[in-house]
Amino acid sequence: MRIVEYNNNHVCRYGSATSEDFVATASAVTVGSYDGVHRGHRMIIARMVSIAKARGLRSVVVTFEPHPRMVLKGEVSGPLGLLTTLDEKIALLAGEGVDLLFVVRFTPDFASLSSDDFIRNVLVGLIGAKSIVVGYDHAFGRDRSGSGKTLETLGCELGFDVEVVDEVMIGNKHFSSTRIRVLLASGKIEDANAFLGSPYIISGTVVDGDKRGREIGFPTVNLRLSDSDKLLPRAGVYLAQTVLNGHSFMALMNIGVRPTVSLEGIKTIEAHILGYGGTLYGCMISFILLKFIRDEIKFSSLEELKIQLEKDKKTVELYC
């Protein structure tokens, strides 16, 4: 999957300010924030890719960075809580058979662009859209004035067709990125994963910690999130999994304030990786969360904490 960035009317390689030639090519396109790349998103993307293959078109996902609701004042009360960082989104989309990911840098100036101008100048003029696939509730452009109807009207004029994908439901239940955020905030990781279509990811850089885990035989890696706006699920202990040097490892992940060893009340993320003894400082690691094990508890001593961690470890081993 090729990745390019659209910023201030220029197209460049992802993560670079170097300009490159970008030619409009007959494309099937879908547009959205796609936070979480959940099952509903994947249905839309799969339909777009299918149309592209059937008609010999390039398949293109247009997404926004940062999330538009983080730029538009009045859209969010408090932190939005991203389900996926951009790098996590890229990794998920890479498995969907997409030819090109077109990352639009979302700024106040870009937000002022009308839906008409966005369709004409970006989707058609710059990318070369011949088919546009969107979800049933899609809206875009200034004041979210653009809709499927807007696309259909302009499609007749500009020579592209439009397909609106119906809502995806699971067990007669409506779902959205917002609902998934609520499930995660409640610690219902397995339900959230079912709606996502794949396990929830937490990525970060391994940083130095206070090494308390080593004292009781449970050394941990401490993570600094790759994006501070990433949504952390409910505080507690989770069963997680990571891949290191091509090998899969199970882990106990604690998300919370570590009340037994710290009085600072600062939320941290640390994981004890079963069967791994290497050094990982400075490495970027991604964990997938599989199961909520228990709430975070304040123990009266490190020895009590160790006893509980031994029980948690057995829970992980049973899952394996």
What average pLDDT does the chain have? Answer: 89
pLDDT at residue 293 in the model? 95
42 SS3 class: helix
Q: Say what the pTM is.
A: 0.89
Amino acid identity, residue 151?
A: L
Residues in the chain: 320
Question: CA–CA separation, 172 vs 30, rounded Å?
Answer: 25
What pLDDT was estimated at residue 79?
65
Interior CA angle at 309 toward 213 and 283, to 5°? 45
Closest C-alpha among 276, 269, 273 to residue 254:
269
Kindly list the structural domains of the chain, giving each domain's residue range(s) and its CATH number in brackets, ordered by start: 2-165 (3.40.50.620), 200-319 (2.40.30.30)
Task: Assess whether pLDDT exceeds 60 at residue 148.
Answer: yes
Mean pLDDT of 13-26: 80
Sheet order of strands, 2-7 included: 10-13, 2-7, 100-105, 58-65, 27-31, 129-135, 161-165
Helix count (H) and strand count (E) of the chain?
9, 13
Cβ atoms of 118 and 146 closer than 8 Å: yes
Rounded to 5 degrees, what are φ and ψ at 155? Answer: -60, -40
Q: Are 287 and 271 in contact (CB under 8 A)?
A: yes
CA dihedral sign, ordered 104, 106, 108, 113: positive
At 106 the pLDDT is 93
Contact 122, 151 (CB under 8 A): no
Token pair recorded at residue 33: 């924030």
3-state secondary structure of 120: helix
Q: What is the DSSP string of 215-266?
A: HTT---EEEEESSTTBPP-SSEEEEEEEEETTEEEEEEEEEE--TTT-SS--
Q: How confident is the model at residue 194 (pLDDT cuts 50, 70, 90)?
A: very high
Overall average pLDDT of the 91-115 stretch: 93
What are the tens digits of pLDDT across the range 221-253?
Answer: 999 998 889 999 999 999 999 999 899 999 999
The pLDDT confidence band at residue 212, using thresholds 50, 70 and 90, is confident
Q: Which of 216, 9, 237, 271 is nearest to 117 (CA)?
A: 9
Beta strands 247-256; 268-273: pairing state: antiparallel
- Candidates 313, 312, 314, 315; CA nearest to 297 is 312
Strands 100-105 and 284-294, how do they pair? Answer: unpaired
